[in-house]
Structure 1
Amino acid sequence: MRAAAGATTTADAWNFVEGGSGGEHTMRENGLAFDRVRLLPRVAVDVAGRTARTRLLGLPVPVPLAVAPMAYQTWLHPDGEVATAAAAAAAGVPFVVSMMASRTVEDIAATGAATVMQLYWLRDRGLFRELIGRAEAAGCAALMLTVDVPLLGRRLRDMRGGLVRPATVVAANLGGAGGGAGAGRAGRSEVALHTKVLFDPSLSWADVAWVRSVTRLPLVLKGILDPDDAALAVDAGADAVVVSNHGGRQLDGAVATATALPAVVDAIAGRCEVLVDSGIRGGVDVLKALALGAAGVLVGRPLLWGLAAGGAPGVTRVFDLISEELHEAMALAGCPDVDSARRLRTSVAGGGC
């Protein structure tokens, strides 16, 4: 699916999807860290009637995954987020709407997908409040505040190519802020310049508590890696946290999420739900995330590959592959359900149990 997507997208769009920050060390390490996790399968367990059904972000799901928030999806396919959300609705999994989506939250919710609205901390507090109100009115199940982007990471692929969005690829939830005009310039990313104007780097825990106070929706904090921050997130009223390094697109050199996850789970101590993203590439990775303590995962780039390669049917194919792989891995690991998957022992390649 990745190969098919790469053959159908423009160089700018492909670099935007595939690129990480700096030397892309953290982006690569995300996958390698999941690769190093080893599972200790259980045997003589009846897995004939196994199920991956559970609850995620308060919603019943057939498999413990949701669609990660990803911007500007019409860059990859004309239907963009509406196609991805339609596939998510068919699969029965939640769709997290990026604040920078190229289709509105209202259009995305109209697909029937269970939606969660992702937000960045904006300089314009009025617009921030307006987006919360729109999310509530659209029937979103939760808000997801991304807390690891005081400014955009130094994404060298975008800068070297002079990345400019096409004029048709807009931030639809922000009143249709348009794409870049004219040609790009080496050393400059139009996307980075756009977000620098919008995002406020002053976000504090007091601000997080304020966000908690102005909405009735559950609040998810995305971008947690340090266990101390996980504890502070609970104190600020978070109903869930996402262990995330933004897919390796923020601080290059940050710890991989599979490495950070167990300590965050320990710090949370069951007080709120813990999810994880960055580096999930198949059903075995989902099982590993569960064994490391996550309630579920957010899947990102693989779904964009499916979208670029084949629209909604391409996304559906990715969902189907991950689900099939997860069910097979659960059977082979002796897990009849998600709770038993969370009780699996793990080791790290080269280390002990």
Structure 2
Amino acid sequence: MDIISIKTAAKEKFQGACRLCPVCNGIVCAGEVPGMGGLGTGAAFRHNVEALADCRLNLRTIHSVKNPDMSCRIFGLELTLPIIAAAIGGIAMNMKGALTEEEYDTAIVSGCRKAGTIGMTGDGPNPAVFSTGMAAIGKEQGWGIPIIKPRETDKIVELAKQAAAAGCPAFGIDIDAAALVNMTNAGQPVGPKTIHELEYIKNRTTIPFIVKGIMTPDDAEACWQAGVDAIVVSNHGGRALDYTPGTAEVLPYIAEAVKGKMTVLVDGGIRSGADVLKMLALGADAVLLGRPLAIAAVGGGADGVDFMINKYRAELSAAMTLTGTAQTNDVPVEILW
């Protein structure tokens, strides 16, 4: 298996839902929601990629770092590198049925475990989206993190308890899906949450609680006040609100507000191991990968996901070596120009 065969197979199965552009920057697929593109003009998707591209690394080779430590401890889990698969649901709608929901979730969850990390599964207007993800996690003895839409609070608690019973190490809500019309049209309304609602969820669940979709320091502080265990700095891959800044632009300010108080994760436009290192230098504890692992899953199944994560692993190791970075849990901002 190689990257060319994965992309060739994925391009055929996507049937135009994703063009497998040489640079995945959201330009060609702008406005294709449903699909793999960014909402509206696609500016938020582009900003994610551009913000990371504007971060430059200092090349340093006079040092003693020869075997960088990429291991990462998150939610009590020992991961071999600070990369987690982001939750993506609605495969039939967004990927033109390139895989079934079951095939996709299995590829992500099992592929991540094979690579020494963990994957997230999604939720959607069809209850089968969540249950299919939970089934894939069950096959791996609870090795997965389900992400729930920002539903009514009692429903979130109910689904979180299912996750805990299945042995999941954590659960989350993607609060950046607060305006999804397809959820409301399906009779499953979603919306923003108050600090009190987040506290309600936290106080009635037993495993770590993640809130994904944080783009401002004050929202990050609100999550901390509510007792949330982790946040994901994310604009939903540019698919929630047009014209938002890139996640790499806002991450340093959010990390300054809550780093050390809670786990800080980030996604958006991460296309290489070097990009992973940039995000760690900007203040993240680990990153989430969405579209790159979707391509890997469609083009190669679980083995494709394993391959792609190991590709990022090799790139991250090289970037750490060439910046003099000894370990991923202590990446100095000084590696950035």
Q: Shorter-chain TM-score: which interval?
A: 0.7 to 0.9
Conservation of the 8 A alpha-carbon contact between 2:133 and 2:146: no
Q: Which amino acid aligns with 1:80?
A: Y
Give, in angstroms, the shift of residue 56 of structure 1.
Answer: 2.1
Tell me the secondary structure at the aligned position of residue 148 of structure 1. helix
Larger mean CA deviation between 3-12 and 31-40 belongs to 3-12
Alpha-carbon distance in 1 for matches of 2:134, 2:39: 28
1:7 maps to which residue?
Answer: 12
1:282 maps to which residue?
Answer: 272
Larger mean CA deviation between 193-202 and 246-255 belongs to 193-202
Q: Does 1:131 align with 2:159?
A: yes
Distance 1:126-1:265 versus aligned 2 partners, 3 A rule? closer
Q: Does 1:57 align with 2:79?
A: no
Conservation of the 8 A alpha-carbon contact between 1:65 and 1:299: yes
Distance 1:104-1:33 versus aligned 2 partners, 3 A rule? closer
2:324 maps to which residue?
Answer: 334
Alpha-carbon distance in 2 for matches of 1:84, 1:225: 26
The count of aligned residue pairs is: 307
Spell out, residue by residue over 1:217-276, the C-alpha distance to the aligned partner (whole angstroms, 9 max, x if none): 111111111111111110010111110000000111111100000000001142111110
Distance 1:202-1:228 versus aligned 2 partners, 3 A rule? closer
Match of 1:69 among 65, 76, 87: 87
Alpha-carbon distance in 2 for matches of 1:290, 1:297: 8
Match of 1:237 among 210, 215, 227: 227
CA RMSD of aligned residues (A): 2.1
Match of 1:109 among 113, 122, 138: 138
1:89 maps to which residue?
Answer: 113
1:38 maps to which residue?
Answer: 56
Q: Which runs of 5+ in 2 are unaligned?
A: 1-5, 20-31
Q: Does 1:223 align with 2:223?
A: no
Alpha-carbon distance in 1 for matches of 2:48, 2:309: 20
Q: Does 1:80 align with 2:129?
A: no
Q: Does 1:26 align with 2:44?
A: yes
Alpha-carbon distance in 1 for matches of 2:259, 2:270: 24
Alpha-carbon distance in 1 for matches of 2:72, 2:192: 37
Alpha-carbon distance in 2 for matches of 1:42, 1:332: 6
Q: Which runs of 5+ in 1 are unaligned?
A: 153-191, 348-353
Conservation of the 8 A alpha-carbon contact between 1:31 and 1:279: yes
Q: Which amino acid aligns with 1:323?
A: R
Tell me the secondary structure at the aligned position of residue 73 of structure 2. strand
Tell me the secondary structure at the aligned position of residue 57 of structure 2. strand
Conservation of the 8 A alpha-carbon contact between 2:137 and 2:143: no
Tell me the secondary structure at the aligned position of residue 39 of structure 1. coil
Spell out, residue by residue over 1:69-117, the C-alpha distance to the aligned partner (whole angstroms, 9 max, x if none): 1103473324220122111110111111212337240332312462112
Conservation of the 8 A alpha-carbon contact between 1:82 and 1:111: no
Q: Which amino acid aligns with 2:169?
A: A
Identity %: 31
Conservation of the 8 A alpha-carbon contact between 2:198 and 2:226: yes
**TM-score scaled by structure 1?**
0.81
Q: Which amino acid aligns with 1:150?
A: A
Q: Which amino acid aligns with 1:82?
A: T
Conservation of the 8 A alpha-carbon contact between 1:151 and 1:201: yes
Conservation of the 8 A alpha-carbon contact between 1:41 and 1:344: no
